[in-house]
A and B are shown apart, each in its own frame.
Chain A
Amino acid sequence: MSILILAEHNNSEVKSSTLNTINAASKVGSEIEVLVVGSNIENISKEIANYEHVTKTIMFDNPNFEHVIAEKIDPIIVSIADKYSHIFAPATTFGKNIMPRVAVKLDIAQISDVISIESDDTFIRPIYAGNALATVKSSDTKKVITVRPTSFDVVAKEGGSGIVETINSELVESHTEFIDREESKSDRPELSTARIVVSGGRGLQSADNFKLISDIADKLNAAIGASRAAVDAGYVRNDYQVGQTGKVVVPDLYIAVGISGAIQHLAGMKESKIIVAINKDEEAPIFNVADYGLSADLFEALPELSSELDKLNSIEK
């Protein structure tokens, strides 16, 4: 049987989470079909059909689907679900919003946030904010799975079949209406896929002081992250939050500034390759996971770091 993947995109660009999810699915089987639901999605449907491992793209193109409303998308998946042994989506707010609806309608227990595929029915997923790993086996005939994108590499953008099939179905009446979206516009790399992340916590003390973080991020071409405390205090917006209830990041370098290191924050960053912690409090738990710790006042350390990075850059030039 084939595997179905629900693609995440914004109608004009495919999100990298889709490429991670294709990779995860390829560990279960080789017949991989990708469902693309949206409006004006011919280009991205063709693009996805060419991705490595993809045997077919199924395009559902309709102007009523410009914005994602979960209640309108799950019926499409359910209507074609018969053909598939596994249905995958990324464990992003997009996939989390839709997939449990698919699972319950098919009477299947969903397996969320999978980080490793052991076999076609056995998977590993973090529980308790990553303080334990559960190896779970599903007895359902079909599997509905969301995967943690950062746990799987992206697939190559070529090597697929290039086949696009078009489907249509009757539109479901929905009592949920899209109003608007406020997205962060930034030239910086995206937080969930950035090679370097510089994160600030409550230690920054104000939204204004976050400029110290963005200055370092600019010099390292890094994304900016934050602890929940910093988001709650209004220093930065919610989409910057790294942790159990925010984003999970696995950069090559994670610099935590003024972050104490609550387990909920560690859940979102402790898989990073190199972790740097800068904190005034020598006892802060963040130092237990840091490769390099600097016990210092961040208001002195960050300007210094900024000028040290300038020196490095000028040597390289």
Chain B
Amino acid sequence: MKILVTVKRVIDYNVQVRVKADNSGVEKENVKMSMNPPDENAVEEALRIKEAGKADEIIILSIGEEKCQETIRTALAMGADRGILIKTTDDIEPLSVSKLVAKIVETEQPGLILMGKQAIDDDSNQTAQMTSALLNWPQATFASKIEIEENVATVTREIDEGLERVKVKMPFIASCDLRLNEPRYASLPNIMKAKKKPIDIKSAEELGVDIQPRIENIKISEPPTRQKGVMVADVAELVQKLKYEAKVI
């Protein structure tokens, strides 16, 4: 079985994101970029499934600018086998991404697709669900545990009310939660090896997918900032303030 894992290049989660002065977007110049965190969990899960003897190849797919190759290399250094980059601009919408992923699935025929549950840049949380609907494959979103048996899998999902378990037939698509596993670090020898692993570069045009955006960003603005409050000396003062100043208890 092949596993297809999608990875997105995003501003590193530790970076304090700044809105551009002209409100056209956020500052991306000279900002550290990394793999979207839940995508790392997706890569890690694929590696574990392969190590358990249940898969023989892991393909990493990224969609975006040329530099997304770095993100693919990171996944290859963790242990994935080969990469595919579909070159587009970096503002591609989940709707277009899901159509491109579905195209790749046609040719690669994976038995499982793993994605991060949301990208920490646009926070859309759509791509896995859209891809599942396009392919008519079962979906298991927000997965915190995946157990694969013969032709079926049991997936534990993190939902607002707690946990839910579903049984899905293979092939299926899972969107991965941060608690699914602890992603590994790439070792130096594996980083060296990853440099020789192949990355196939494609374009949306050759795949015949229309990726024209449907949503126009009119303005990107700073959220209202909170005034820094006061420090209290002790618990008694805190309770007094909450009771008589803020009047919330």
- Interfacial residues, chain A to chain B (CB-CB below 8 A): 69-71, 74, 92-94, 96-101, 103-105, 107-113, 122, 126-140, 174-184, 192, 196, 220, 228, 231-232, 237-239, 244-245, 247, 252-253, 263-264, 270, 273-276, 287-296, 301, 304-305, 308-309, 312
Contacts and interface: CB of A to CB of B under 8 A. Distances in A.
Contacts of A244: 120, 123
B150 interface: no
Contacts of B95: 103-104, 107-110
Contact of A136 (B26, B216, B229, B241): B216
Contacts of B19: 131-132
B69 interface: no
A140 B214 contact: yes
A100 B94 contact: yes
B118 interface: yes
A125 to B, nearest CB: 8
Contact of A112 (B125, B167, B168, B219): B125
Nearest to A8: B160
B166 interface: yes
Contact of A274 (B120, B126, B137, B248): B248
B163 interface: yes
A124 B228 CA distance: 25
Contacts of A305: 235, 238-239
Given A127-B123, A275-B226, 8 more contacts: A93-B157, A107-B95, A129-B120, A135-B217, A288-B226, A292-B246, A293-B229, A294-B235
Contacts of B44: none
A132 B214 contact: no
Contacts of B218: 122, 135-137
Contacts of A128: 11, 17, 26, 120-121, 123
Binding site of A, secondary structure by majority: helix, strand, loop or mixed?
Answer: mixed
Interface string B36-53: 001000000000000000
A207 to B, nearest CB: 15
A297 to B, nearest CB: 11
B236 A308 contact: yes
B228 A288 contact: yes
A111 B223 contact: no
B6 to A, nearest CB: 15
B201 interface: no
B164 A180 contact: yes
Nearest to A251: B248
A101 B132 CA distance: 8
B215 A111 contact: yes
A274 to B, nearest CB: 5
Interface in B89-148: 93-95, 98, 117-118, 120-127, 129-130, 132-134, 137-142, 144
A51 B248 CA distance: 29
A296 B93 CA distance: 46
- Going nearest first, the 7 A-B pairs with the smallest beta carbon separation are A291-B229, A100-B129, A109-B214, A100-B126, A104-B130, A101-B133, A175-B169
A220 to B, nearest CB: 6
Nearest to B249: A220
Nearest to B137: A175
Nearest to B134: A104
Contacts of A182: 162-164
A162 to B, nearest CB: 29
Contacts of B81: none
B161 interface: yes
Interface centre among B121, B134, B137, B161 (most CB of A within 10 A): B161
B230 A292 contact: yes
A105 B132 CA distance: 11
20 contacts: A70-B129, A93-B158, A100-B126, A100-B130, A101-B129, A101-B130, A112-B126, A113-B124, A129-B123, A131-B16, A131-B26, A133-B222, A135-B218, A136-B216, A177-B167, A177-B168, A182-B163, A245-B178, A293-B230, A296-B234
A132 B220 contact: yes
A214 to B, nearest CB: 17
B180 to A, nearest CB: 11
Contact of B161 (A74, A136, A137, A184): A184
B160 A247 contact: yes
A304 B231 contact: no
A163 B34 CA distance: 52
Nearest to A277: B229
A287 B235 CA distance: 16
B198 interface: no
A93 B129 contact: no
